[in-house]
Amino acid sequence: MKRLILGFGNTLRGEDAFGVDAVLLLQNNTLKNTTVLSAFQLTPEMALEMLEYSHIIFIDTAFSPSHAYALACSLEKSNRVNLSHHISAFHLIDILNTLYGHFPSFEIFSMLGNNFEAISNVVAYKEALEKTTQFLMHY
């Protein structure tokens, strides 16, 4: 089984960088049969690169006004179909399923955050990073 871990977010926008920061930590370790990538945002053509993986783990920050730094897995899908230049993880999986007949298993690891200007609580942020990366290294 080939696995892809894809962390995404804007490193200039505070807690939105969680996925990218997690990938930076994971890159220091050897993960069996796993490719680790980071991206600024998810775009449709990434589907082409995901075709070779049977399991995909996305890491991102999900907006939550009241549960900052809580960790969540595979939050419920939004039903929005509007898009511009970037899309959601669910949309990418939709593209893989519908257009390419590829059905990888996938999970979305999210840190809940409410500050996209800065990291409000550096200690809590680092703890969330540590927990996520440790979990993934032994997953």
Partner 1 sequence: MKNKTILIEPVTRIEGHAKITIDINENQQVEDARIHVTQFRGFEKICEGRPYTEMPALTSRTCGICPVSHAVASSKACDELLAVRPPKAARNIRRMINLAQILQSHALNFYHLSAPDFVYGFDAPKEDRNIFKLMQTHPQMAKDGIALRAFGQKIIERLGGKRIHPEWIVPGGVSHVVTQEQAQTILDELPQAFDIAKRTLQYFKENLPRFKKEIDAFGNFDSLFLSIVGKKGQLEHYDGLLKIIDAQGNVLEENIEPKEYKTYIGEAVEHDSYLKSPYYIPMGYPKGIYRVGALARLNIANGCGTSYADEAFEVFKNINNGKPLLSSFYYHYARIIEMIFAIERIEILLRDPKTFSDNIRSYAKINRLNAVGCSEAPRGTLFHDYSSTQDGVITGMNLIIATGNNNLAMNKSVKQVAQTFVNPLDITDGALNKVEAVIRCYDPCLSCSTHAQGIVSSVIEIRDAHKNVLQTIQRS
CA-CA distance, 29 to 10, in Å (whole number)?
Answer: 23
Least Å distance, CB 55 to partner 1, is 22
Report the residue number, 103 or 135, with the smaller CB distance to partner 1.
103
CA-CA distance, 59 to 18, in Å (whole number)?
Answer: 8
CA distances to 10, 20, 55, 133 from 117, rounded to whole Å, are 10, 16, 32, 23
Query: Would you say the C-alpha torsion 104, 73, 137, 113 has a positive or negative sign?
Result: positive
Q: Is 41 in the site for partner 1 (CB under 8 A)?
A: yes
| Contact indicator for 14, 117 with CB cutoff of 8 Å | yes
Give the pairing of strands 3-8 and 34-39: parallel
Report the residue number, 49 or 130, with the smaller CB distance to partner 1.
49
Among 84, 118, 123, 138, binds partner 1 (CB under 8 A): 84
Report the residue number, 52 or 130, with the smaller CB distance to partner 1.
52
Among 40, 103, 135, 139, binds partner 1 (CB under 8 A): 40
Q: Is 94 in the site for partner 1 (CB under 8 A)?
A: yes
Residues forming contacts to partner 1 in the complex (CB under 8 A) are 12, 39-41, 43-45, 47-48, 80-86, 91, 94-95, 98-100
